[in-house]
Amino acid sequence: MTGTPDPAPRPVRWAGEGLWITFEGGDGVGKSTQVALLDEWLRERGRTVVHTREPGGTPVGTLIREIVLHHRGHIAPRAEALLYAADRAHHVAELVVPSLERGEVVLQDRYLDSSVAYQGAGRVLDADEVRGISMWAAGGLLPNLTILLDLDPSVARQRLDGDDKPFDRLESEQEEFHVRVREAFLELAAAEPDRFFVLDAALPADVIAQRIRARVEGELGSRS
Ligand code: TYD
């Protein structure tokens, strides 16, 4: 088998109506809390917010999420990468782009950076190939802003251990896997400093929320 789907589209930052913000980071870094806090803050300011996630932001995506996160047996790495990409293709086409075109703010828990970091970190797949597949799936579209919550995986693991939820397939991976995921996210952020806003997720949640609001206020100001 050879390389990525051809032609892989060139990356394009969303430049139309609305505002598209994705949240990234390892498991247990506190993403869900921060997405919910930003959602509330934006709604209080009269914005129409679409709070969504990958995998699973659409009815089709919910079915795919069940397979990729809860299937008990082995899934071949290429099949796993394609399942995330299929979820993404449908999500971007059916929910994200239409919402943005209506001028809404899309807050999205995970996007293609998660595929590069997680599927690439398995070491079986080449990160550029994984990215190419996702770029093809998403028509090359990148968000206006990506908020990366960065945390030492051993601290994140302690937070997850405190939850009652059973671990999904990815959360059950060994510590070295999560260390590679963290490094991959930081490399992605360093490569695209304009798009990424990196925050230390060990800070108190209200401090992180405040910094995110300040950054988002700037983004909203620059487009009104
Ligand atoms: P998430 O929804 O953040 O988990 P939870 O709701 O259980 O806190 O993410 C689900 C898992 O999916 C997470 O371990 C990362 C993984 N994932 C990938 O491996 N590749 C991807 O492309 C995406 C979007 C997620």
- Looking up residue 43, the CATH number of its domain turns out to be 3.40.50.300
* 5 domain-assigned: no
Residue range(s) defining the domain that contains residue 58: 16-223
Atom of ligand 1 nearest to the CA of 55: 24
Which residues have any ligand 1 atom within 6 Å of their CB?
A: 27, 53-55, 69, 84, 109-110, 114-115, 118-119, 168, 170-171
Helix spans in the chain (H): 31-44, 59-70, 77-91, 97-101, 112-121, 127-137, 153-162, 175-191, 205-221
Domain membership of residue 7 (yes or no) is no
Provide the pLDDT confidence category of residue 174 given band limits of 50, 70 and 90.
confident
What are the tens digits of pLDDT across the range 184-223? 999 999 999 999 999 999 999 999 999 999 999 999 988 7
Number of domains in the chain: 1
Going by alpha carbons, the residue nearest to atom 20 of ligand 1 is 115
Q: What is the pLDDT of residues 129-141, one digit of tens each?
A: 999 999 999 999 9
What type of residue sits at position 114?
Answer: S
Write the Ramachandran bin of 53: left for phi over 0, alpha for psi from -120 to 50, otherwise beta.
beta
Model confidence, pTM: 0.94
